[in-house]
């Protein structure tokens, strides 16, 4: 009778543990709680300069889902969620001001450009590193379990105490499998991890409308997906700043190249 009760207790323990593990551990936090990163300062306007610049308007058209902060999880079982997403709000000067300044400096003065920024966020992907930690953790647990089994084999087989011990061990082992060995499914939204690789990643999407001096309009999309391996021996701040600045430069270069190609037609 005692053994049956212990078996029922083992089933209840495993079930309760499974329910606990099913709860979401990934939370979207307000953008204001995300870390801040300083980009290159905007160039000072030369008041005495008579140089004309292009008319540039950049509008933030990102969806609400991108205006939050995902801090990522630092736990081996949650290695699929070892991704940190920081929104455009994390950067100063703002992404909108940066794009406006860069385009004004590069576009010919006889065009008007309207940019709808439809996506902009940076992801720190550490899934490979956390996955390797989980594999090493499993190996260590397996060695500990094998050593414990060797010690148990010396006990008298068939005795009541041995039977009770085996039931308790299996109950504990079922719980350990859930707590220590299970790779939990990804809970971070898929759009955050899409196209991501280990290290730094940036998502930049925009729809650009160019109007020339003859009022002709040309509308086209621009999409930037960049990845860079993070140097763990250096501070993250300057690496992110350079990475984002260069990605914005690439987006602007594609816009300028498209405008120049259209003007030659």
Map out the domains of the chain as residue ranges.
2-20+130-181, 28-127+186-264
Average pLDDT, the chain: 79
Q: What are phi and psi of 57, to 5 degrees?
A: -130, 120
Question: Helices (H), strands (E): how many in the chain?
Answer: 6, 9
Q: The whole model's pTM is what? A: 0.73
Q: Averaged over 221-244, what is the pLDDT?
A: 93
Return the pLDDT at 181: 54
Q: For 19-74, write each residue's pLDDT tens digit.
A: 444 445 789 999 999 999 999 898 765 444 556 888 999 999 999 999 999 998 88
Q: For 115-170, write each residue's pLDDT tens digit.
A: 999 999 999 998 877 655 555 555 555 666 666 655 555 554 555 555 555 555 55
Task: Tell me whether residue 33 is exposed, middle or buried, using C-beta atoms within 10 angstroms of its C-beta: 0 to 12, 13 to 18, 19 or more.
Answer: exposed
Our measurement of the distance from residue 11's CA atom to the centroid of its chain's CA atoms, rounded to an integer in Å, reads 37
Topology given in CATH for the domain delimited by 28-127+186-264 = Rossmann fold (3.40.50)
The 3-state DSSP class for residue 254 equals: helix
Return the pLDDT at 217: 92
Residues ≥6 apart with Cβ < 8 Å to 213: 110, 111
């Amino acid at each position: 009778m005692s053994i049956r009760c212990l078996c029922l207790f083992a089933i209840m323990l495993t079930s309760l543990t499974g329910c606990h593990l099913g709860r979401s551990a990934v939370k979207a936090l307000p953008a204001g709680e995300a870390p801040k990163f300083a980009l290159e300062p905007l160039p000072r306007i030369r008041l005495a300069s008579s140089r004309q610049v292009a008319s540039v308007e950049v509008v933030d058209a990102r969806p609400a889902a991108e205006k939050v902060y995902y801090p990522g999880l630092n736990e081996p079982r949650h290695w699929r969620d070892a991704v940190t997403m920081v929104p455009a709000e994390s950067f100063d000067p703002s992404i909108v001001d940066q794009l406006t300044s860069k385009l004004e400096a590069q576009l010919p003065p006889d065009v008007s450009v309207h940019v709808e920024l439809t996506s902009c966020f940076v992801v720190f992907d550490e899934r490979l590193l956390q996955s390797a930690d989980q594999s090493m953790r499993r190996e260590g647990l397996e060695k500990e379990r094998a050593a414990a089994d060797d010690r148990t084999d010396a006990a008298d087989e068939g005795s009541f105490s041995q039977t009770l011990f085996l039931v308790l061990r299996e109950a504990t082992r079922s719980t350990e499998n859930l707590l220590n060995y299970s790779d939990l499914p990804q809970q971070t939204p898929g759009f955050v991890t899409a196209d991501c690789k280990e290290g730094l990643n940036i998502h930049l999407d925009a729809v650009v409308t160019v109007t020339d001096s003859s009022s002709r309009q040309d509308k086209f999309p621009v999409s930037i997906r960049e990845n860079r391996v993070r140097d763990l021996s250096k501070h993250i701040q300057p690496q992110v700043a350079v990475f984002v600045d260069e990605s914005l430069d690439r987006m602007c270069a594609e816009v300028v190249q498209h405008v120049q190609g259209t003007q030659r037609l």
